[in-house]
Amino acid sequence: MTLVRMKIRVTGIVQGVGFRPFVYRIATENRLKGYVKNKGDAGVEILLEGEKENIRCFLKDLKEKKPPLAQIYEVIQAPLKRGKKYKNFSIQRSSAETELSGSVIPPDIAICNECLKELRDPEDPRHEYFFITCTNCGPRCTIIEGLPYDRENTTMRDFPMCSFCKSEYTNPLNRRFHAQTVACQKCGPKAYLTTKKGELIKNKDPIREAGKLLSEGFIVAIKGYGGFHVATATTKDKPLTRLRKVKHREHKPFAIMVRSLKTIKTFAEVSMKEAQVLTSYMRPIVLLDKSENYFLSDLIAPGLHNIGVMLPYTGLHYMLFDQVDEPAFVMTSANPPNQPIINDNDEALRRLGETVDYFLFHDRQIAHRCDDSVVRLHDHRQVFLRRSRGYAPAPIVLSEKSKRCTVGLGGELNNTGCVLLGNKAFISQHIGDVENVETRDFLEKATRHLIHLTNSRVEAVACDLHPKFTTTKLAHDLAAENDWQLIQVQHHYAHIEALMVEHNVKEIIGVCCDGYGYGLDGEAWGGEILLCTRDFPSFERLAHLQKQPLIGGDLATRYPLRVATGILHKKVDVQEWLLQNHKHFPHGRKEVEIFLHQLDKRNKIVETTSCGRVLDAVAAVLGVCYERTYEGEPALRLESAAIKGKDVLRLKPLINGGILDTSRLLLEVFENREKYSRADLAYSAHVYLARGLAMLTIEKALENNVETVGFSGGVACNKILASVMRSVVETSGLRFLVHKTVPAGDGGLSFGQAVVAGFSQF
Ligand SMILES: [Zn+2]
Ligand SMILES: [Zn+2]
């Protein structure tokens, strides 16, 4: 019999996931003595005394039987001098000591099935308690203010446990043993309903009352784990019209929360894989195709073939549906454009009071805001449009270690922050458009929080090349303040580098298509084919889309008829067509005349290679969309218009000296606009671009002897483009890569920047 003492330190996602209770169980099962405790670096320390063989079994169990939400990155073992100090095994008081780096707290987890069952069980002490949770579910990152993860370091500290909850919390055999969010009707957060002015409405069942108000067509702000939703009914047009008006959202689609998977299937197509994602503990919003039986209001996602759907993820959400027939509620983020999520009750009253009719509050504070995640499926492939609740801040694990610890601050729109440490990239929750002080502060706070949680020692900060971005300025400030190296990374290069590192490839011909990125030459890029290698901290721009004029600059982005005209002008007579469409210019006929005059004089016009703008132009020519009221609208509507189309134009892509001709495409669409259906022309335009980009990429891959091709940028979320491009590239025998875990759009930019700064030698 050999008695051994050993200290074990575990890094990973090991706090807030039932790890200590689990360690307690396997230690006692293996007849070991000692302790386990949480540390201030988000890791766990274990001390074991016992027989060598038992410790071996313990280590095996540690890896093989770990709780479902736990992730173990490292198990560091240190044998100690022999001795007997402990009479039993215990969970010790946490220590604030920070020693190791790279651990992190878990994301928020949707209510688990056991808790859901208890919520519905009249015999259960937590029957109908809206914030019922356990070790396996509930909020985490949105309630944690500091480390180690103990109740006093979370916003649950305001709710001392009652004797019943305490008895479960201290019982090693209970599912809620050491669960920091444990609470009940008696001791936990309370929900209450108020008028839009914040006057309390006395009601014994405020949540179900809110559900009734919603189904009657009222607009209610609902406080959740990580922010407020603005909610209303989905089967009536009237509340939606009103909601669009008060939220100043003309067409931008609203996400909806549906009572059950079965109900989703009554109005949308759901594949097996989509059902899996919808019901996963991350519970993201999934973009689903509307079915032929779609019966919800068309005002939810106007002009689009798909709709953003999620399932309830807290007890509160489930209870909203209890006493109503409404199949679903709109659940849109309560933040006004360009503002971070509202997380404070008073702030909500101040900022939403004019928008909503009622508030459904609870009295727990939100430590960190977190928006819902949004994904879509390209066949069986999951594509992230927004990676936030349920995913952040769990890291993306890379195959290789970064040379140093870096931070990426992203670009301007749909932004995130990222901390790269070793082989892990910790991407923040969705921050949004960083254009003003509030969102810049949110980005800075979220990034600092990540650095703190992971106990990282940052050496460099990366940002975009654009000299005027708020994030560029922030990067300069942080670099100066902390003595970090500052690295500016070209927009499309960051996207492709992200793709390369995600798939661990050494060289790639990357197609990066989006709306706008500041080019090396200061021009507006957005349809780029780049050669990137991992040995070199730079890239080569091999090819791109044809440059097209943006007449009126930002006005052209807003009114795609301007882009279309810029392309068609001098090739066909557009005058009559424009005058016919004068009502789609904000100032009508007069504006068209001035615009035509500008066209003739065009000497100092901004040009762009943007793929997004070409899609916009096609959308305008086909009359699919004349005004962009939200980011990507014309292109998204064009994809929807194309979904049932055929390739009637069968155009051969025109490629000249590394440039894909897009004028040709526009001209053909314009001239055939009366001859074929809108769906067929929209689809043909997609095929032209996808085939053209694929052919150009294949040509460059062969020239440069590269076997891997990749597709990134916001346009890569377009299913038709991605699938046509994939089939052309794969037919040629090359490998075709898209993002798996990182958003293809600008939400993945911070990751790409951090990776460039971390992997390159400067
Ligand atoms: Zn649970
Ligand atoms: Zn209680």
> Would you list the DSSP string of 385-421?
EE--TTTTTSPEEPSS--SS-EEE---SSSB--EEEE
Question: C-alpha distances in angstroms, 359 versus 231, 264, 353, 497, 519?
Answer: 10, 26, 9, 44, 46
**Residue 183 C-alpha to ligand 2 middle, in angstroms?**
5
**Residue 311 C-alpha to ligand 1 middle, in angstroms?**
16
- Which residues are within 8 A (CB) of 61 and not within 5 positions of it... i.e. 6 or more apart? 26, 29, 30
- Euclidean distance between CA atoms 116 and 469, whole angstroms: 45
**According to the model, what pLDDT value does residue 510 have?**
98
Question: C-alpha distances in angstroms, 244 versus 111, 237, 258, 287, 723?
Answer: 31, 11, 20, 20, 34
- Euclidean distance between CA atoms 337 and 487, whole angstroms: 29
Residue 605 corresponds to which tokens in the numbers above? 């016009």
**Residue 167 C-alpha to ligand 2 middle, in angstroms?**
9
- Euclidean distance between CA atoms 65 and 77, whole angstroms: 18
Q: Quick one: which H or E segment has residue 556?
A: helix 554-558
Among the bound ligands, name the one nearest to the CA of residue 18. 1
Whether 685 contacts 693, CB under 8 Å: no
Question: C-alpha distances in angstroms, 253 versus 240, 287, 330?
Answer: 11, 11, 10
Note the pTM of the prediction, 2 decimals: 0.96
Among the bound ligands, name the one nearest to the CA of residue 132. 1
**Residue 755 C-alpha to ligand 1 middle, in angstroms?**
36
Please report the sign of the dihedral spanned by the C-alpha atoms of residue 169, residue 172, residue 173, residue 178: positive
Among the bound ligands, name the one nearest to the CA of residue 136. 1
**Residue 128 C-alpha to ligand 1 middle, in angstroms?**
14
**According to the model, what pLDDT value does residue 757 have?**
95
**Residue 185 C-alpha to ligand 1 middle, in angstroms?**
16
Q: Quick one: which H or E segment has residue 244?
A: helix 237-247
**Residue 447 C-alpha to ligand 1 middle, in angstroms?**
29
Query: 721: how many CB neighbours lie within 10 A of its CB?
Result: 26
Q: Amino acid letter at 284? A: P
**According to the model, what pLDDT value does residue 604 have?**
73
Query: 78: how many CB neighbours lie within 10 A of its CB?
Result: 10
Among the bound ligands, name the one nearest to the CA of residue 189. 2
Residue 583 corresponds to which tokens in the numbers above? 């009502």
End-to-end CA distance of the chain: 55
- Euclidean distance between CA atoms 445 and 453, whole angstroms: 12
**Residue 139 C-alpha to ligand 1 middle, in angstroms?**
10
**Residue 174 C-alpha to ligand 1 middle, in angstroms?**
12
**According to the model, what pLDDT value does residue 754 have?**
97
Low-confidence ranges of the chain (pLDDT < 70): 336-341, 343, 536-537, 602-603, 762
Residue 470: φ, ψ to 5°: -60, -35
**Residue 165 C-alpha to ligand 1 middle, in angstroms?**
14
Among the bound ligands, name the one nearest to the CA of residue 159. 2
Give 198-224 pLDDT, tens digit per residue.
Answer: 999 999 999 999 999 999 999 999 999
**Residue 454 C-alpha to ligand 1 middle, in angstroms?**
26
**Residue 125 C-alpha to ligand 2 middle, in angstroms?**
9
Nearest to 225 by CA among 327, 375, 355, 331: 331
**According to the model, what pLDDT value does residue 762 have?**
64
Q: Amino acid letter at 618? A: V
Give 257-272 pLDDT, tens digit per residue.
Answer: 999 999 999 999 999 9
**According to the model, what pLDDT value does residue 602 have?**
62
**Residue 169 C-alpha to ligand 1 middle, in angstroms?**
13
**According to the model, what pLDDT value does residue 536 have?**
62
**Residue 190 C-alpha to ligand 2 middle, in angstroms?**
12
Among the bound ligands, name the one nearest to the CA of residue 117. 1
Q: Amino acid letter at 609? A: T
- Classified as helix, coil or strand, 146 is coil
**Residue 257 C-alpha to ligand 1 middle, in angstroms?**
20
Neighbours of ion ligand 1 (CB under 5 A): 112, 115, 134, 136-137
* Torsion angle defined by CA atoms of residues 628, 632, 634 and 635, in that order, rounded to the nearest 10 degrees: 170
**Residue 126 C-alpha to ligand 2 middle, in angstroms?**
8
- Euclidean distance between CA atoms 653 and 655, whole angstroms: 6
Among the bound ligands, name the one nearest to the CA of residue 188. 2
| Longest Cα separation, the chain | 96
- Classified as helix, coil or strand, 80 is strand
- Which residues are within 8 A (CB) of 261 and not within 5 positions of it... i.e. 6 or more apart? 270, 275, 278, 279, 311
- Euclidean distance between CA atoms 702 and 762, whole angstroms: 30
Question: C-alpha distances in angstroms, 92 versus 21, 49, 183, 393, 551?
Answer: 11, 15, 22, 26, 67
Phi-psi region of 608 (alpha: psi -120 to 50; beta: other; left: phi over 0): beta
738 DSSP 8-state letter: -
- Euclidean distance between CA atoms 750 and 747, whole angstroms: 7
- Euclidean distance between CA atoms 149 and 391, whole angstroms: 18
Whether 319 contacts 116, CB under 8 Å: no
Among the bound ligands, name the one nearest to the CA of residue 133. 1
Among the bound ligands, name the one nearest to the CA of residue 118. 1
**Residue 314 C-alpha to ligand 2 middle, in angstroms?**
18
- Euclidean distance between CA atoms 760 and 616, whole angstroms: 36
DSSP codes, 261-293: HHHHTTTB---HHHHHHHHSTT--EEEEEB-TT
* Torsion angle defined by CA atoms of residues 618, 620, 626 and 627, in that order, rounded to the nearest 10 degrees: 30
Question: For strand 548-550 and strand 89-91, is the pairing parallel, antiparallel, or unpaired?
Answer: unpaired
**Residue 153 C-alpha to ligand 1 middle, in angstroms?**
21
- Which residues are within 8 A (CB) of 397 and not within 5 positions of it... i.e. 6 or more apart? 423, 424
**Residue 72 C-alpha to ligand 1 middle, in angstroms?**
21
- Euclidean distance between CA atoms 242 and 233, whole angstroms: 11
Q: Quick one: which H or E segment has residue 212?
A: helix 206-215
**Residue 158 C-alpha to ligand 1 middle, in angstroms?**
21
Among the bound ligands, name the one nearest to the CA of residue 131. 1
- Classified as helix, coil or strand, 5 is strand
